[in-house]
Structure 1
Amino acid sequence: MTEPGAPWSANEVLRYNALVYAVTGNLTAGNKAKAELLELASWPSSTHPDIEADGHLVDYDTGKFAVVAGEAYDWVYPLLNETERELVRTAIMDNAVEPAHTDYMNGAYLSDARSNRAAHAWGGIGVAALAIMGDGTEDPNLQTYFGASHAVMDEYVDEFSPEGGWPEGVSYLSYGLCDGSGALFYMDALKRVKGENLYAHPGFSGASSFPLYFLPPDRAAATDGFGDSGFSEGFAACAIAKLANEYGDGYAQWYYNNVPVYSYDRAARFIWANSSLPESDPSSLPQSKQFTSIGWVALRSGFSESDALIQFKSGPIPESHGRPDQNAFAFDALGERLLVCPGMPSDGYSNPHYNDYYFATVSENTVLINNDTMSQARYPSEDDPGGSITGFITTGFYDSVTGAAEGAYEGVLAKFDRTISFVKPDYAVLFDDIESSEYEKEFESLFHALGSGSISIAGDTAVITRNGVKLHAKILSPSPFDYDIIAGEPQQPGGVDTATSYLKIWGSRAETQKFLVILYPLPASSALPQITKLENGSALGYRMENGGSNDTMLFDPSKGGINSGGVVSNGAQAFVRNSLGGVARSALSSGSSLAFNSQTLFASSSTSSAAFNYTASRVGGIVDASGAGAISVHSRTPVSVTVNGAVLPGASWSYDAPTGLISFPVGGGNSTIEIQTS
């Protein structure tokens, strides 16, 4: 039953034979499971000796022991006599439930519900407690001791962001939900035995969207290695199957059916998978999503294998599996991982470079100060999480996210605002606005790629090449700049160690610095469009000539006034795409006016961020207003106006033909706008 030298490990023989008996009534399997269960009950301890040596009584392996014992007790119950049942109940109490309560009262590290290991340990122990509850002569302390498991698991579901994000990342969400133990086992047992439904928790109910939005387009694994996660593992099949089945979630079922998943737990997968549940194509979902309380944002052009994904993080760093990755990002496009995260080395935490590379700021696509490889604090103070998302807007044609991360640098910086704008589906724009808290400093921006010879640079353009795809990085600021191309540590896409390298760029020492880089992925045979740098006063940006259209984007964090390339705005950022047919797209961040070639495109009575797409018959977009008020939008002759799905009465909007502006009221916050035109 047990592995040699590891008497604390429960084998799957017990679990699978018990399941076969429960499903089919096969006595051969049932009696085998019974014998294994009674052997398990004879163990003196369920805790790994190394854990006991550290002064703890339970660990996540205790949770696996407890799940196996509790499930098997339930499944082969008819084959046990009362003496045997008492033996199993006593083992569960003595080796799992009671020591877990003691550890909880002593504040042991696994009592922290923000860890996937807590879900493994306490979830499994809770399952075992629920399995014996109300049976035979109940231990008078059982209900009290069970309270420890329930307290931790109740806190565990509270740690999810309102949208379903898990602070440790996708891989550790998967592990904490289902891997021989975990949250889903406990939640199922709790619902059946006590009628309490933790699945109804509003954050947890969205958990399946987290792996979906951060799924790399190549689908080679569940994650790009964002956070402290590996590159090579799929999401747990049992976890995504259960989420799909529990909520009738067709998008989770799509993930289960179309993405390579990993059978951590084949028994749970067998029980929870529902092949008759219809799937829903995620193309019907909003393309991009912010997971607010954890500071993760996924910017997507879609969910196909040829679509692009930009991952961005600026938010609290979890004590368990956190990384110093504030304002870090990764970029996948055209089926390739182009700018990558450090991931987890093949030899895990024992890697000799784990602390000085994988767990250091130098391994992330963010900014170093004075070449300090550990520029960001690993664990910022409770008063300042080190990073936060300060702006986010998403549409089907344009996304923009801004993070503030000066707090991660422990007083060295007064400002580090990073904006990534995604002009869908073509390219991204990175803009950094950095200020030293005192004295001049050297600021270095990092870009990591797979492949030891994958980065080259000529003039102001770096090129990252990956399997017939080239990511062109047009560096417009600083100018001039210095650079270095450095060998990084191996990463594991597809489970195979792959060499990496990274580009480091920096300007002269200064108290302030602005980085402006255009990131344009193209097939190797395609040429980068012509890009011209624009500067006017405090504004910095570019003009891109791309076939029959021109893009103009400018940044002015000081809001001194944008006036360049025909674009005039009082915002922090402005974008216009124009062609022979006129303006095709526009966007504004943190302002109240935007004009192009003397034509007002947008005006608002309050500070707003907005983005609009213009066609011959429709103007559509989004406005995020700081308060309720009136807006004016450039339009052809309007026929109808819809705000957040409701058609406005004709008396509530007005159109001024000479200026081409339609005016109407919107509330504070996000409003989706659609103007039908003639």
Structure 2
Amino acid sequence: MRPSLLITSESIHGLRSLHDVQSAVQHGHARKLWRRLLDAADAWTNIPPYVPTDMVPGRDPLMAKHANPDYIIVQTSADRIMTCALAALITGESRYQADALQQMDALFDPIHWPEWRDMAHQSVAADWRTGQLSQAVALAYDWLHPQLTDGERRFIIDGIDRCGIQRYLQAVEENAWYFTRVNNWQTCVVGGLGVAGMALREDHPASGRLIDLAHERMLAYRAVYGAEGEFNENVGYAAATRLPVIYFSAHRYYTEGTENMLADHPFPATCLWYLYMTTPPGRTAAFGDTHIDAPPGADYYAAVAAATRDRLLQWYYLTYTQQGQSRVNPLELLWYDETVTPQAPDSRLPTGRAFPGHSGCISSRTDWHAEKTPMVVFGKAGHGSEGHGHHDAGQVCIDGYGERLIVDLCSPPMYPADFFGKNRYQYYNAGVAGHNIFMFNEQEMATGETCRAEILSADFDDGGGAWSIDLTACYEGVHDVRRKVVHNKAGVIAVLDTARLVNPQDISLRWHTVDKATPDDTGNFEVTSNGVHLSARIVCLHGDQFTIQRREHAYQVPFNKGRLGDVFEDRHESYIEACLTDQICTLLSLFAVFSPGQVPVPWQLTQSGWTINLGKTSYMIHVTPDDLAVLEAN
């Protein structure tokens, strides 16, 4: 009986039926999702189907100019099909079905959509776009099935076969690289075609093969997550967990509820890891290939919360699901289970944690306020071969009262054609020069997974957190490189960087600021964003020829173009750079956050050491060769 995938025609224990969804949309959050979905469906019925030259929210105009089927236009078209199909199923109104079929007709037309493949992915017969569209069309087919004529069913089967399935099977025969490499391509393309097989069932002769090809790999894919849920790529790409969640959600329905793999590792653990990597008012730790204000991908938390009955994950979903999102995701309505009562994190959930697997991400915050906690500090260990990662081992970023202050520059304005090859680190965003870490003789960090930083210690309590990282393996020509970070919840951070080199070298330490902060002669500088202030100072404790100044990045020809040849617009991203030349060096960086309305004051060198007044209390930095601490000074 159909529908059967992510929504059932009949009641099955543990699964959501059409009747369940029709009842749920009458009240609460499900009603909000339904109204948003229906508004989108109503709007789409009044406009022509999308083609690759169309502009839609969030799309780069250059992609439309080149008629490139990029992620945005493809996902928008996929969402349109699924949204209208679901609206037709729930309401029974034929106009929504007609729009879904109209968009499919455009997708199947080689004049309007020459192929389901990005211009940058021509080396494989089927790519991300093939997975996105094949999955969406097949799900819509399952949901619309009861309302379709035999001719309409054949029209959809023939279209998805020609545009998606046959191209994919060609990629299988050619042993496309993503069949053996575990990353988001595998979960999108192989997993997406597996979902298509489950949706099409006996109506397509290759369905069984599509499922078999996917299931073995999707089961194995789970092993890429660390023991504590760490994603194997950078945080910005961790929302790609949505892809295996879609697959295993579909599989749960395909097995009629007998297999609930979303309740097993790694899904609950990786949701908790990602929760720690989220900062108010709704952004993620901006490491690697991402955007500085990218919102968290929270929609799939609804599926994991429902599968596990986890109240904390339900809170995260309800708190962050609409943060910065213009997209309407019809799967969200089917995933959300209103019977799971949300519970916000409280004192039982530590405010700081280090995750040693993969990138070794670390976070420490004042509290779990979802909108404007006074301070969040993100750090990482890292290694030289992270998926979508940069040369950023040891990176530290600071947010205060919901504002970015000390930042990671994330991705270039668009992906260059050679960004995933030997020239990757010619772009400052990916290279060591674009991060808040040591650089020696302007040389890049070592590349390779064995070139790994190690978290030596990480401790968190009610007062804050402290961690120490050994970065030696990430550099060449060094005896040892260490970074220690201390976060005091009063709003103070101290970072101690030490290096012993084989020979004297030019040494640089950069702090990238959200504004164009400029240091004074003492090394003090002030960062400001929307009334939030960060008072900072860099101190040289050991080293010769120490200087400090503000600089800006610029892209250098020929490394200044996107993948389709368009020249970047320089963003003139600013940083404070401390420089010296020596064989041994120790630099101390000090930070203190001031809330909106507070008047910031600079760090002072007193007889007690470096101190700062935060109103009623002053704080001082205690530093020795073996210890770094933030203490009350009065």
Query: For the superposition of Structure 1 and Structure 2, which TM-score range results when normalised by the shorter chain?
Result: 0.7 to 0.9
- State the alpha-carbon separation in 1 of the partners of residues 217 and 158 from structure 2: 23
**Change in CA separation of 1:337 and 1:317 when aligned onto 2, cut-off 3 Å:** same
Residue 500, structure 1, aligned to residue 566, structure 2: no
Q: 1:518 aligns with which of 590, 603, 608?
A: 590
**Residue identity matched to 2:119:** D
Secondary structure of 2:362 counterpart: strand
| Higher RCO, 1 vs 2 (CA within 8 Å, ≥6 residues apart) | 2
- State the alpha-carbon separation in 2 of the partners of residues 225 and 406 from structure 1: 24
**Change in CA separation of 1:412 and 1:299 when aligned onto 2, cut-off 3 Å:** same
Q: Is the 8 A contact 1:478 1:507 kept in 2?
A: no
What corresponds to 1:63 in structure 2? 131
Give the unaligned 5+ runs of structure 2. Answer: 1-48, 54-66, 556-568
What corresponds to 2:185 in structure 1? 117
> Displacement of 1:288 after TM fit?
0.9
What corresponds to 2:51 in structure 1? 3
Judging by fraction of residues, say which structure has more helix.
Answer: 2
Q: 1:392 aligns with which of 444, 452, 458?
A: 458
Q: 1:255 aligns with which of 316, 319, 344?
A: 316
**Residue identity matched to 1:519:** F
Q: Is the 8 A contact 1:290 1:297 kept in 2?
A: yes
**Residue identity matched to 2:445:** Q
> Displacement of 1:239 after TM fit?
2.4
What corresponds to 1:646 in structure 2? none
Query: Once the two structures are aligned, what percentage of the paired residues are identical?
Result: 19
Listed as ranges, the matches of 1:41-440 within 5 Å are 47-48=116-117, 50=119, 54-80=122-148, 85=153, 88-89=156-157, 91-93=159-161, 95-97=163-165, 99-104=167-172, 106-111=174-179, 114-133=182-201, 135-136=202-203, 139=205, 142-174=207-239, 176-178=240-242, 182-194=243-255, 195-217=258-280, 219=281, 221-259=282-320, 260-274=323-337, 277-284=340-347, 285-294=349-358, 295-304=360-369, 305-318=372-385, 320-349=387-416, 355-370=426-441, 372=442, 374-377=443-446, 380-382=447-449, 384-409=450-475, 411-436=476-501, 438-440=502-504
Give the unaligned 5+ runs of structure 1. Answer: 491-495, 535-541, 557-571, 581-678
- State the alpha-carbon separation in 1 of the partners of residues 188 and 210 from structure 2: 17
Secondary structure of 1:326 counterpart: coil
Q: Is the 8 A contact 2:299 2:317 kept in 1?
A: no
Comparing 334-343 and 295-304, the one that deviates more: 334-343
- State the alpha-carbon separation in 1 of the partners of residues 118 and 435 from structure 2: 36
**Change in CA separation of 1:353 and 1:390 when aligned onto 2, cut-off 3 Å:** closer
- State the alpha-carbon separation in 1 of the partners of residues 179 and 114 from structure 2: 20
Judging by fraction of residues, say which structure has more strand.
Answer: 1
**Change in CA separation of 1:336 and 1:160 when aligned onto 2, cut-off 3 Å:** same
> Displacement of 1:425 after TM fit?
2.9
> Displacement of 1:366 after TM fit?
0.5
Q: 1:442 aligns with which of 464, 487, 506?
A: 506
- State the alpha-carbon separation in 2 of the partners of residues 27 and 115 from structure 1: 39
Q: Is the 8 A contact 1:233 1:262 kept in 2?
A: no
**Change in CA separation of 1:425 and 1:227 when aligned onto 2, cut-off 3 Å:** farther
> Displacement of 1:430 after TM fit?
1.1
Two-structure CA RMSD over aligned residues (Å):
3.6
Q: 1:573 aligns with which of 624, 627, 631?
A: 627
Q: Is the 8 A contact 1:92 1:129 kept in 2?
A: no
Q: Is the 8 A contact 1:113 1:159 kept in 2?
A: no
Q: Is the 8 A contact 1:460 1:476 kept in 2?
A: no
What corresponds to 1:619 in structure 2? none
**Change in CA separation of 1:48 and 1:419 when aligned onto 2, cut-off 3 Å:** same
> Displacement of 1:376 after TM fit?
1.5
**Change in CA separation of 1:236 and 1:336 when aligned onto 2, cut-off 3 Å:** closer
- State the alpha-carbon separation in 1 of the partners of residues 433 and 244 from structure 2: 34
> Displacement of 1:576 after TM fit?
8.2
Q: Is the 8 A contact 2:365 2:464 kept in 1?
A: no
* Aligned residue-pair number: 534
**TM-score between the two structures when normalised by the length of structure 2:** 0.74
Post-superposition Cα deviations, 1:149-198, rounded to whole Å, max 9, x if no partner, equal 22332233322223333233333222x244xxx33221111111134433
> Displacement of 1:529 after TM fit?
6.3
**Change in CA separation of 1:196 and 1:265 when aligned onto 2, cut-off 3 Å:** farther
Post-superposition Cα deviations, 1:471-510, rounded to whole Å, max 9, x if no partner, equal 22251523662222112369xxxxx997532111133322
Post-superposition Cα deviations, 1:210-244, rounded to whole Å, max 9, x if no partner, equal 34222233x2x522522211023322353233333
**Change in CA separation of 1:407 and 1:396 when aligned onto 2, cut-off 3 Å:** same
Secondary structure of 2:130 counterpart: helix
Listed as ranges, the matches of 1:419-568 within 5 Å are 419-436=484-501, 438-452=502-516, 454-466=517-529, 467-478=531-542, 481-488=546-553, 500-510=573-583, 512-522=584-594, 525-528=599-602, 531=605, 553-556=622-625
Comparing 3-12 and 56-65, the one that deviates more: 3-12
> Displacement of 1:361 after TM fit?
1.0
**Change in CA separation of 1:504 and 1:247 when aligned onto 2, cut-off 3 Å:** same
> Displacement of 1:314 after TM fit?
1.2
**Residue identity matched to 2:146:** P
**TM-score between the two structures when normalised by the length of structure 1:** 0.70
**Residue identity matched to 1:573:** D
- State the alpha-carbon separation in 1 of the partners of residues 621 and 106 from structure 2: 72
> Displacement of 1:362 after TM fit?
0.9
> Displacement of 1:368 after TM fit?
0.8
Q: 1:26 aligns with which of 93, 97, 100?
A: 93
Q: Is the 8 A contact 1:486 1:501 kept in 2?
A: yes
- State the alpha-carbon separation in 2 of the partners of residues 64 and 49 from structure 1: 11
**Change in CA separation of 1:312 and 1:185 when aligned onto 2, cut-off 3 Å:** same
Post-superposition Cα deviations, 1:403-444, rounded to whole Å, max 9, x if no partner, equal 2222222x32231111111122331221122122x3221221
**Change in CA separation of 1:468 and 1:422 when aligned onto 2, cut-off 3 Å:** closer
- State the alpha-carbon separation in 2 of the partners of residues 24 and 506 from structure 1: 66
> Displacement of 1:3 after TM fit?
0.8
**Change in CA separation of 1:459 and 1:13 when aligned onto 2, cut-off 3 Å:** closer
